[in-house]
Amino acid sequence: MSNQSYSVAVVGLGSMGMGAALSCINAGLETYGIDLNQAALEKLKAAGAKAVATNGDEFAEKLDAVVILVVNAAQTNAVLFGENGLANKLKPGTVVMASSTMAADDAKAISQKLTDLGLIMLDAPVSGGAAKAAQGEMTVMASGSQEAFSKLQPVLDAVAGKVYNIGEEIGLGATVKIIHQLLAGVHIAAGAEAMALAAKAGIPLNLMYDVVTNAAGNSWMFENRMKHVVDGDYTPLSMVDIFVKDLGLVNDTAKSLRFPLHLASTAYSMFTEASNAGYGKEDDSAVIKIFSGIELPKKGEN
């Protein structure tokens, strides 16, 4: 099938969804966008989307694939099965790429409902941040049938740098993503703790940042997120509240397996404390604001 005749809708045009949708347009796929945010819709339309809307009524039956990049399982369920749900309007055999971070059981339940409607699901969480999404270089950790993978091939080619096939069973992709989020959340929390200690000790944070990013203690998350702290810019690319949710899922998974997670539990408490203090809608690097008695850089100071 040529890309021109392959139609995909991306639902949820946040930092990851927008990048994925633009990558689909760049790959020559017939791309539709669904979001409640009018500015996001207009941006995608201007970039060459076939059509954009707050719901899929107008074009649902034309689609070969749907990519859902909303925040969580509840939003994914609302998109598919809510009062104006997409699932009932899709033609049988349409493949749904569910890319939100969610519990394995939620992924299984959504898959079952889709199967009952004659639709196919790929349990396909993504990672890589806004920049990788914009370049069509996301990492996809997916599980599902061979049919789901092959039907989504044009989309995966467009949006992903790496696609990991975790297995046939729905829920495996979700679990790999949750384990990945354990690391991501702990790395941000650890980075914040280190930079807070530097601030307390009177070490300039831009210097500390430079040392770490050229030494063995660096991590992708430290390099990416602690730059926001150095710049005093907490404009959210991914919010504190996302890690309250994701580390909550990590701990729920651990609970269901009766498995102790010392660092993930502490990181979860730190993000929850930050959210409780009013920083929930700021960039997740704002977890550093839970430390008292330190001066942090203000925007425009450096």
Active site residues: 177
C-beta separation of 281 from 241 below 8 A: yes
Alpha-carbon gap, residue 74 to 254, rounded angstroms = 21
Pairwise CA distance, residues 177 & 277, whole Å: 28
Partners of 239 in the β-ladder = 283
How remote is the C-alpha of 116 from its chain's centroid?
27
Q: Give residue 224's Cα distance to chain centre.
A: 16
Work out the burial of residue 53: count CB atoms within 10 Å of its CB; fewer than 13 is exposed, 13-18 middle, 19 or more buried: middle
Q: 28, 86, 93, 24: which is closest to 56 by C-alpha?
A: 86
**Is 265 in a helix, a strand, or coil?**
helix
Cα–Cα distance between 115 and 265 in angstroms, integer?
35
